[in-house]
Structure 1
Amino acid sequence: MSELPCDCTTDPLERLRYFSRQLLTADDMRTEQAYFREKLRRHNRYLHGWGVVCGCTVEPVDKAQDWTVRVCPGYVVDPQGDDISIDRCVSVDLKLGAIPEPCIVRWPCPPVGEMPGTGSRERKAYIAVRYAECHSRPVKVHPAGCGCDETSCEYSRIRDAFEIKVLWTLPDSHVAAHKDDEAWRDTLLKSPPELLRRLLTMPAPPCPECVSDPWVVLATVLLPAQDAAGAAGSGQAPLQVSYADRRVLLSTQRLQTALLSLT
């Protein structure tokens, strides 16, 4: 898996200026890719925001696989502006230990943080996803010298992928987003004339900061009670899935449909 920065790029963007007989290197090609990628990330963050656009439902699996949930396909934009496409169902075992990297097998990673103790009243697990890049399609590289045994391989592609984890605490990005949503909700609850007046006279809001936490919570899972030994209770209560902590990003299509339904 390729290395990704933990925050957004703040350096001025540069793109190539082509001219005749120019010598181009791999660094030049990477700069060209980085320019358009960062432009798209800024577009997503500033114009659309972030959250779950569609799909990504989380459902418990049958009791034969206790403490296992299934993440269904969907589309997400993360707080850093990267879009995530989950193209197949992924099973997540909440008690799973070490597992392969997401680029080897599309699978969740070990839980992050400390699991709530046995005496905790609310034992929640947050199913979260983030963008990941995977190297793919290795090819042979021609030797630089004249030797016969200098053939090596390099990956020729980078595949857009995703990584799913179990978090025991709500990410800071979601805590801050909930406060912003509550402020906007108070404005939207005004009467229509007052709401329109506020929107027309409201100054341009500050640009949102690009947080270093890239996780997007898909669902909150309430864990069953445990006995003194730390194992699941004998009643085998089913897992309860809630979307109370999920941040939804309304697409233009959904907003148009909602407005047309009001006319």
Structure 2
Amino acid sequence: MSNHINGTDKCKLYRFEKNNYFYGKLMTVRDFETEQSYFDEKRHLVNRLLHGSGLVCGFEDLKMELKGNKILIDFIDGGVALDCCGREIVVPANTLGKDVISSSGSTVSTLPDGSFLYLKYKPCYEGYVAAASNPSSCEERCCPGRVVEDFEVIVSSEAPSSEGIRCRVESSEDPNVIPGASEWLENLEEEHKQCSLCGENQGSKVFLASADSDLVIKREDTEKYRIFFTQKELYQLLKCHILDSNNPHEVTASQTGALVSVDGVSNPGGNVDLAPKNAIVIIPDDTNNLIAIGETHSSRKDNPHEVTAAQTGALVSVSGVGNPGGNIDLTAGANISITPNPAANTIEIASTGGGTPAVTVESVGTSLIVGTSDKYSREDHVHDLGKEVVDFGNLSETLQKQLNLLFMYLRERALKCTVSNFKIIMRQLDSSIAFKISQVAKDAVDNRIYENEDDFISFMKDLLELMKEFADEIQGRVTDISFERFMKSLEELKAAIGSGDAIQVAIQQDEVCFYAMELEMRG
């Protein structure tokens, strides 16, 4: 079976329905528009019911200026928004000089404080071409060839109906009453049981920003009303739930395995108190979030455990005399005095003597007569040997002479050792300063500088400076360890010279000669 199309109805669509298929069709502009409109409305339906409305992304960098008698706005970063009908408002980056208009559609030259800017979907037609104006004739008219999706920026004093994301705690009329999560979800589901409608009179504007009279975007107010997220209800639920620190799931201690008792003592929903006893003290410290548990027992000095001397193995008697739990007194006897001194923690025991000292002593003399004395010999019989040590001047003349010869020998030996050792070093290191040290030491020996202690020490001061020059000359030519030992011997010689002890200086100069001979050339 077929359809016959006559001249009168040639632009009408006839169809034969069989199994829901179309047989024969003449396509017109209206059919293409219907097809495009069908898919657009489908997309808008999904946007409206699944994603909601609001800003999707962008719109962070906005600038306004007054140019002539109208206010223009620049979208530096551009953005994308969805209106309540699900239509996309796409603003390319660097969209400049867009008019700000009033609700009536006229341009504005001023903004009151507390103004609100909105985006509104506003398509326009362009690309006009000549086309048949009537399907039944060949008459042509100028018709638009395409639709451009554009938008308007509208200023209003009316605040957005939505106040952005509001958590259920904040949305409660009574701040002390927190609605349960199930109740909140039920309310949210109830709102979506009926499909939301779309239309120009049902708030198709999308909030953009808040502005003041100086044409400056008010960031704080803008952030209050903006919603940048798709599927905002889900995001709102997740965000509020994450930020809810009031145990929204009513989790119990037993469910989490938390401590519910201490040593079998429990107090559900309250505190388990710590009670001090005996020498234990408990001090809560809320400032540092701690509880200090201390004791007073260790500071007691009154023998709280009643320990006895026998238990500790303490002294209980002296020479068989005991007085458990008390003191053993010291008693002064004949010619003995006992003087306690608590300040110095001492007990002074002294002899008082028995009579007067002897005034004459006949036990020391050429007659070898042994006399008698009640206590002491005469004062002129005391041997003057100094305090604690024997003074050099109190030695015999022969012993003093022998010691002086020994000391002089040590000084002479130190000088002669310097002569011979530095002469050898001069050859090994090819050092002119070592040769000079050897020569001046030889002159000192020839002039017998060693015989006088003061002359010897004065000479050694000058010799020390010369040996320091020698050290500067050889540094880097000898090994580090041998050089460090030589320098240490010079430092010790300097200290000996500072002490003024000629014997110590002579001995230390021998050390210098030894470590000078130990100097090793680098390999």
* TM-score, structure 2 as length reference: 0.32
CA distance in 2, matches of 1:139, 1:18: 34
User: Residue in 1 aligned with 2:50?
Assistant: 47
User: Residue in 1 aligned with 2:408?
Assistant: none
1:34 to 2:37 alignment = yes
Q: Secondary structure at the match of 1:108?
A: strand
| Aligned mate of 2:123, from 133, 137, 155 | 133
Q: How does 1:82-231 map to 2 (within 5 A)?
A: 82-91=87-96, 107-112=98-103, 123-141=113-131, 152-165=141-154, 167-170=155-158, 174-175=160-161, 177-178=162-163, 181-182=165-166, 186=171, 195=181, 197=182, 203-206=189-192, 207=194, 208-210=196-198, 212=201, 213-224=203-214
Task: Provide the identity percentage.
Answer: 21
1:241 to 2:218 alignment = yes
CA distance in 2, matches of 1:88, 1:131: 17
User: Residue in 2 aligned with 1:21?
Assistant: 24
Render the CA deviation track for 1:2-59: whole Å, top value 9, x for unaligned.
xxxxxxxxxxxxxxx7612123333333332222222222211111100000001253
- The aligned amino acid for 1:125 is S
CA distance in 2, matches of 1:35, 1:60: 37
Q: 1:34 to 1:199 in 2, by over 3 A?
A: same
CA distance in 1, matches of 2:207, 2:133: 46
Deviation at 1:201, TM superposition (A): 6.2
Q: Is the 8 A contact 2:210 2:218 kept in 1?
A: yes
Q: 1:143 to 1:45 in 2, by over 3 A?
A: closer
CA distance in 1, matches of 2:157, 2:32: 40
| Aligned mate of 1:250, from 219, 225, 229 | 229
Q: Secondary structure at the match of 2:218?
A: strand
CA distance in 1, matches of 2:156, 2:92: 25
1:75 to 2:80 alignment = yes
Higher relative contact order (CA 8 A, sep 6+): 1
Q: 1:163 to 1:200 in 2, by over 3 A?
A: closer
CA distance in 2, matches of 1:129, 1:153: 31
Q: 1:169 to 1:58 in 2, by over 3 A?
A: farther
Q: Is the 8 A contact 1:57 1:218 kept in 2?
A: no
CA distance in 1, matches of 2:230, 2:35: 29
Q: Is the 8 A contact 1:125 1:220 kept in 2?
A: yes
- The aligned amino acid for 2:208 is L
CA distance in 2, matches of 1:152, 1:64: 38
Deviation at 1:84, TM superposition (A): 0.7
Deviation at 1:132, TM superposition (A): 1.6
Flag structure 1 segments of 5+ consecutive residues without an equivalent.
1-16, 93-106, 225-237
CA distance in 2, matches of 1:153, 1:216: 34
Deviation at 1:246, TM superposition (A): 3.6
User: Residue in 1 aligned with 2:392?
Assistant: none
- The aligned amino acid for 2:94 is C
Q: 1:50 to 1:19 in 2, by over 3 A?
A: same
Q: 1:245 to 1:210 in 2, by over 3 A?
A: farther
Q: Is the 8 A contact 1:217 1:245 kept in 2?
A: no
Higher-Rg structure is: 2
Q: Is the 8 A contact 1:76 1:83 kept in 2?
A: yes
Q: 1:222 to 1:61 in 2, by over 3 A?
A: closer
CA distance in 2, matches of 1:128, 1:138: 30
CA distance in 2, matches of 1:36, 1:205: 27
Deviation at 1:199, TM superposition (A): 6.7
Q: 1:20 to 1:126 in 2, by over 3 A?
A: same
CA distance in 1, matches of 2:127, 2:67: 37
Render the CA deviation track for 1:75-117: whole Å, top value 9, x for unaligned.
000112111100143446xxxxxxxxxxxxxx32532379xxx
* TM-score, structure 1 as length reference: 0.58
Give the strand-richer structure, 1 or 2.
Answer: 1
| RMSD of aligned alpha carbons | 4.6
Of 240-249 and 78-87, the range deviating more from structure 2:
240-249
Q: Is the 8 A contact 1:131 1:162 kept in 2?
A: yes
CA distance in 2, matches of 1:251, 1:32: 27
Q: 1:241 to 1:89 in 2, by over 3 A?
A: farther
Q: 1:44 to 1:138 in 2, by over 3 A?
A: same
Q: How does 1:56-67 map to 2 (within 5 A)?
A: 56-60=59-63
